[in-house]
Structure 1
Amino acid sequence: MTPSDASSGRWSRLDRPPLSEAALRRSLLAEGGLWTSVEVVDSTGSTNSDLAARAGSLPEGAVLVAEEQTAGRGRLDRSWVAPARSGLFFSVLLKPGERVPAAQWGWLTLLAGVATAAGVAQAAGVDTALKWPNDLLVTVDGEERKAGGILAERVDDGLVIGIGLNVTLTEDELPVPAAGSLALAKAAVTDREPVLKAVLRSMEDWYGRWIAAGGDAAESGLQETYAAGCATLARHVRAELPGGRELTGTAEAVDADGRLVVRTAEGAREAVSAGDVIHLRGH
């Protein structure tokens, strides 16, 4: 989509008004706060790619929001596509630096999940759950569906964390039948602006706690809060691991490094740090 096309169609859906960059800046930018800039663009390929390309010249706390992503990506390079202004598609730049050991930076994906779930619950009135490591689930007609996802990418001196959240997508707009949206989950509020503000404020709060604790997920309360909201725990799962290996068992815990601990039928316990986890039915 060209900029002129995006502008001409800007009000084509009156129930999907554009975000106000000025209003977001007024609400989120404060001296001494985490967020240092907020930019809203009509359309881009990927906010993660755009922010990562500029990360070296930007301070921590840059926020880039797109009304539409044409090449949005999820984990394992899966595409994330949705109609313009039907969701929240944004990336943030975080630079923990020497305040947190690099070995603990993996917790930032889980931190973003906790912050997103809390912000959505507060602003939209929707109960959410987290699927390890980075999916946000909502309930639609009694069924768990994915309404959001998180993708963290390492840059030279920090991390870019991208969040995609389906807000007003209708059933016929869903990319796959297993997807969901806040609207389909009967959200009390589907105005994207207050939801985005709530998520970013929640992320600022949790990031501050995590930094203050030197990245210690237990001391900051992050590990306990993530576990409490994680729908994967106590479920029978199949983990599809790098290299083509599979692991089936019961998800028992999220350990101090953010890994999912799975107990197999033989009683062995294995910590999974990367992979695709499927919740199995009938167990």
Structure 2
Amino acid sequence: MLMNRVSEATRETDVHLFKRVPTWFLNLRLKDVKTHHVERVLAEDAREHNRKEGGIIRYRTTLSAFFTYLMDNRQIITRNPARRAAIPGAQLSPARIPWLGTEIHERFLIWQQKDQEMAETALVIYFLALRWGEARALEVGDLMLDGQPRVLVQRSLSEGRTVPKRTKTNKTRWVPTANAILPILQRMVEGRGKRERLFPALTRSRLKWRLCWDETGQGKNLHSLRHGGITAWAAAGVNVPLMQRWAGHARVETTMKYVHLVGDQASAAGIAMLDAQNQRLGIAAK
């Protein structure tokens, strides 16, 4: 048992933490527990007991250890739903805040000096808000660059695998193509077959090495590219249901985190879009 591997003080703390688990959570089947369930447990506990961030992290660590045991030692579940659970109310460090506005273009200019191909790859991932596996699985035929340019995201290819699988939410989605990357995509697909990978031989280590990521990435990880793209939509005033669909989020709560991140900037952009629409329709305030 796990109890034999930890100190008495740690055991007592963990037992106390498990007593705080709400009944609704205990009634879930283990294989049905998702990350958002764990996040709800943490949020409810933090709100009810006014927990500090350190206490919430300790609670998540205990839950994560429990699910890891079930996954590794008992093979009851195949993934740990607590591992990536967000800490409610936690402040983002500067290194975790995504690039916005001119910041991503400034990064692009710096990356161009290192490697043009990888700089363009990073910019495309940003503006399409792709998960890493989704970027690796993109094929030339997934791009529709005439009329209303858009990209079909329908598969994911993890590193080390040769056969793609469905996306994280098992759904396909269309993502609009920003003008900033349209010329790049047009060059990428020119003269290539529809079944060819858009980014052949793309790996994390290759992109980081060629862009000197430790030097140029400002402490962010590669997933910050996706975060930045979604946050840019929020800052531009894109409505939440549309953002959720473009991002491929299973839950609207996930999308709302990006709206909260940009705060008044999203509200101002939304009002500007509404004013512009009213002006086109000839609607003016009296």
Report the TM-score range of the alignment, normalised by the length of the smaller protein: under 0.3
TM-score, length basis structure 2: 0.27
More helix by share: 2
More strand by share: 1
